[in-house]
Amino acid sequence: MSSQQLTLALSKGRIFEETLPLLEAAGIHVTEDPEKSRKLILATNDPDVRVIIVRASDVPTYVQYGAADFGVAGKDVLFEHGGAGLYQPIDLGIAKCRMSVAVSVGFDYATAVRQGARLRVATKYTETARQHFASKGVHIDLIKLYGSMELAPLVGLSDVIVDLVSTGNTLRANNLVEVEEIMDISSRLVVNQAALKLKRERLQPILQAFERASEGK
Ligand code: PRT
Ligand code: MG
């Protein structure tokens, strides 16, 4: 294994799929399909480049500690992680969606906020929710969930949820409405700060190819 070996951290699903064309632009072809194989380390046509498959929310952690030299993660995930030890050179413009506040149809969010009501907020994105409601001067009780946030208001666990919205189909199917957009989300390339210096020669052409391929997205 050469000292210029590169490890790229990706999550399965939309991030893997939308990163593939960027890798192709850099001349890198992943030779195995993570949806078919159970392998967590995937080879590429370049013997010095490998891809590791991790949970979306774990990508920044692998890159921060140098277990991966670089990775692709959503702004939602990076905001919750905080970005320590990461260099974030490129917004790739992939896996786009938005972070929003949603409530049950019939819940009068505007009035609750205006009257200074204390809101129960269920979310996986506790840091994002904390900062958003603090900036509005709204007091909240945070309820941490790990998935299926849409259920929380329907069964009385919370008044509102903070979640990602893309088409809005999931909200509609569950009788929820978006009442506030918190931020636009897309995925960024993240690079380990030490790797950026030590493996610059190997990384630079890949970063440039990613940048070119994601221009205008
Ligand atoms: O699934 P897992 O628990 O392993 O992790 P994850 O959900 O974080 O991973 P994944 O692969 O689903 O998402 C990876 C990244 O894709 C996220 O971190 C976002 O930056 C980005 N992304 C883009 C999305 C969406 N669009 C999206 N629509 N992530 C999740 N969703 C979900 C959303 O949470 C909601 O449940 O899709 C549902 C809403 O979609 P619509 O189209 O019905 O509005
Ligand atoms: Mg998911």
User: Does position 1 have pLDDT exceeding 80, yes or no?
Assistant: no
ipTM score of complex = 0.96
Chain-centre distance for alpha carbon 117:
31
* 3 alpha carbon – ligand 1 mean position (Å): 35
Residue pLDDT, tens place only, 167-205: 999 999 999 999 999 999 999 999 999 999 999 999 999
Whether 2 has a pLDDT exceeding 70, the answer reads no
The residue whose CA is least distant from atom 39 of ligand 1 is 165
Task: Please tell me the pTM assigned to this model.
Answer: 0.96
DSSP 8-state secondary structure symbol assigned to residue 174: T
Contact 147, 124 (CB under 8 A): yes
* Test site for ligand 1: of 81, 127, 161, 166, most ligand atoms within 8 A of the Cβ: 166
Determine the longest span between alpha carbons in the chain, in angstroms. Answer: 63
* pLDDT score, position 4: 84
Helix (H, G, I), strand (E, B) or coil at 118: coil
